[in-house]
Amino acid sequence: MKKLPIDDDRYGTPPQSVLLEAVCNSVQDLVRRRFTESALPWSQFVFSASDRLITKADFESIEKQLLDSGYRFNWSAVISQRERPEIYCAADGASDDAASFSFDHPDALVGEPDATGRAACGQGENVVRRPANAVGIARYVRSSERVIEFMNQGVPPGSIAIIDDSGGTLTAPILEHFAGIVCAGGTIRSHLGILAREYGIPCLMNARLRGIRDGDRVELETSADAMTAEAYFTGAAKTASIWKLAP
């Protein structure tokens, strides 16, 4: 079985990093070995045998090779780091009750406060364009304990949820009570982006933030053009700004 030419357009674009290329090559090697060992026709291997012949243990072995090299995965949700801290980067400051905590993304677009006290502190992808920007108080929601707290005590009016899990499952019970959402992961097509659109909640996805603390007053440029499927396909940048406002 020939190695797939990863630079051939028929098989997608080349991997964007050495890590992705290593994983791609490992998976290709795994499939090649199992296919050869099976002695089956390719169509039969793919449609009726691969789910038996390629196992969970095979992929765990690939993951172990990465971890043995010293690599640690970046996490998008605190619960992931809590459950498997040995495979994820350290979660410095990743607690909801730490008022001093903030995301500090190196690529965040930041700036000095203007005459009104509005300072750029990041950007994201707008889910739905709206007539006016969303303004409210930043509330980090990073754990089930924080969600239960809001369920018991209520979400403070005018809260802008700062979330790192784009799945939406964590915040689903309280989602409709937020005045806005900022998610550090995902895209407008992620579960959270879809839920925000259905609930009619202003939302920025795939956000890059720096310096927003729990309790800060923020403004989301939800009046900016929304991200589109065409923009993803062409690689066109459509970003909406995030500002921290003077108290």
> Which CATH number do you get for residue 141?
3.50.30.10
> Is the per-residue pLDDT at 8 higher than 70?
no
**pTM for this predicted structure:** 0.68
> Is the per-residue pLDDT at 99 higher than 50?
no
pLDDT at 90: 72
Q: Rounded distance, CA 188 to CA 191, Å?
A: 8
Main-chain phi, psi angles of 196, to 5 degrees: -60, -40
Q: Rounded distance, CA 133 to CA 176, Å?
A: 18
Task: Find, among 167, 138, 160, the residue nearest to 75 by Cα.
Answer: 167
Query: Helix, strand, or coil here: 231?
Result: helix
Q: What CA–CA distances, in Å, run from 169 to 135, 144, 195? A: 24, 10, 10
> Is the per-residue pLDDT at 7 higher than 90?
no
Residue 231 in any domain: the answer is: yes
Identify the DSSP state of 60: H
Q: Rounded distance, CA 148 to CA 234, Å?
A: 41
Q: Which two tokens stand for residue 109?
A: 């677009």
Domain that holds residue 25: 9-71
> Is the per-residue pLDDT at 97 higher than 50?
no
pLDDT digits (tens, 9 = 90+) for 188-235: 889 999 999 999 999 999 898 888 999 999 999 999 999 888 877 777
- Looking at the structure, do residues 151 and 233 belong to the same domain, yes or no? yes
> In the chain, how many domains are there?
2
Q: Rounded distance, CA 170 to CA 200, Å?
A: 18
Query: Helix, strand, or coil here: 46?
Result: helix
- Looking at the structure, do residues 123 and 67 belong to the same domain, yes or no? no
H or E element in which residue 58 lies: helix 56-68
Residue 164 in any domain: the answer is: yes
pLDDT digits (tens, 9 = 90+) for 131-186: 999 999 999 998 888 899 999 999 999 999 999 877 788 888 999 999 999 998 88
pLDDT digits (tens, 9 = 90+) for 23-80: 888 999 999 999 999 999 999 999 999 999 999 999 999 999 999 988 888 765 666 6
Task: Find, among 169, 237, 168, the residue nearest to 208 by Cα.
Answer: 237
- Polymer length in residues for the chain: 247
